Every structure is written in structure tokens, then in C-alpha cells.
Amino acid sequence: MLGPAGLPLPSSLVVDEQAPVPDPDGDRRVPDETGQVRPDGSAQPSRPGEGAMTQVRLRRAPRYRAFVLTGTALGLIAAGVLVTVLPVHPGASSWTVFLYLALGLGVIGALLGAVSAVLVERRPSRT
């Protein structure tokens, strides 16, 4: 093979069409006739029709656990703020008031987080 100046290229620079393609993991794979390298290293499809491309629709769903835990955390923070801001009843300790508020506002925050996750999922996609 000749280089840009018309001189022969060294053999280390000549690329063979069927030469194994180095993989970042260290594997050496041979491309098939379309130039594609399969993940298992084989060049031919193992089943008929497997090499054909199929179009799939990607479903992007929110992570419900993250929404619920965020709502719960916001409820606990709100309970802590309310305990420090509101006057404490003389017959109840501030820890008791905090625990009741944390229980109530934590559940409400978790429910609001779950509802917001459902609303995010039902929002029409832009694609």
C-alpha cells in the first residue's frame, strides 16, 4: 500500500480489512462482512434473522423510590423546622411533638413524592 507521498507504507501501518479489531478489554475480535463486531466475538449471527436491526421504543420511567424517599426527607425536614419555630405545649416534650410531626409529615411527603412520580411518568414524551 502506498502512502500520501507515493512511498510504500511500513507493514505496521497497513490495516488489513479482516484483521482482528482490538477491544478495550483486551479481546481480539474479527468484524463480519458489514464491519460489525458482535459482543460475543463471533462474526456471524447465531440464529437466522438475529443480525437484522429492530427498532425498539425506550420507556423512560421515573425511579419511584427516589421520589418517595425525597418526599419523606422533605417531610422530616419540615417537622424539624416546625418544632423549632412553633411554641411547645407545656404538657408535651419537644421530642414527642417532633415524632408525631415527623410521622405525619413523613407519610404525607412520601405520598406527595409518589404522586409526583406518577405525574412525571404520565407526562407526554417529546420524542
Kindly state the average pLDDT of the residues 36-56: 60
**Distance, CA of 127 to CA of 120 (rounded, Å):** 15
Q: Which residue has the higher pLDDT, 96 or 26?
A: 96
Lowest pLDDT segment from 14-18, 47-51, 57-61: 14-18
- Tens of pLDDT along 63-98? 889 999 999 999 999 999 999 998 878 888 889 999
18 exposure class (CB count in 10 Å sphere: 0-12, 13-18, 19+): exposed
Evaluate whether residue 112 is within a structural domain: yes
Evaluate whether residue 27 is within a structural domain: no
| Grid cell of 116 as nine digits | 409526583
Evaluate whether residue 80 is within a structural domain: yes
Kindly state the average pLDDT of the residues 6-12: 63
Evaluate whether residue 81 is within a structural domain: yes
Average pLDDT over all residues of the chain = 76
3-state helix, strand, coil in the chain (%, to 5): 40, 5, 55
Evaluate whether residue 14 is within a structural domain: no
Evaluate whether residue 23 is within a structural domain: no
Evaluate whether residue 35 is within a structural domain: no
Evaluate whether residue 38 is within a structural domain: no
Q: For residue 90, what are the domain limits?
A: 64-122
Domains contained in the chain, number: 1
